[in-house]
Amino acid sequence: MLGRASPQLSVRFKQFAATKPNIILGTASKSRRAIFDELSAQFQLTYSVQTADIDEKAIRYPDPSKLVLALGEAKRDAIIAKQSKKVPGSYLITCDQVVVWEGLIREKPESEEECRTFIEGYYQSPASTVGSTVVTCIEDGRSVSVVDTCFIYFSPIPSDVVGAMIKGR
């Protein structure tokens, strides 16, 4: 699942991992956990998971970059507020992602019908994912963030494959 990092980045991350940081992954996402499981195995890291339990629908911005960054920061703030103490060497990683299709922000589909509509429309027009990652040093509150956009082009997806995707979500 993980791509190849540049040798320089890999060395720097190995040095960071050698400090045995206390990493908190602030997400309920299975895919982000799977990515972090792989990263943990590769770099001998351990991590814990905490969820923010925020009302994401209460945070709205028409600009997808601003939206995912605001959501990542809101998750960070909610999880930090739950911390009973600031453990040295602790880092919190929060993320958010939306799909943009024909200029519309699409978040998690709320029904199977909406999910089918989303998937079937993606071959008609390319979609993009806009995602944020916010990394915070819990000890001193310093935070860095990044927003990334990726464009995705699909061929027509057969309806039986769409059905299998919906059942697996």
Q: What does the alpha-carbon distance between residue 133 and residue 36 come to, in Å, rounded to a whole number? A: 13
Q: Which residues pair with 145 in a beta bridge?
A: 134
Catalytic residue among 37, 96, 148, 160: 96
- Annotation says 63 is catalytic: no
Closest CA to 147 of 100, 102, 101, 115: 100
- 152 CB burial (10 A radius; 0-12, 13-18, 19+): exposed
- 143, two tokens: 């935070």
Stated as kind and residue range, the H or E segment containing 77 is helix 64-82
Residues belonging to the active site: 96
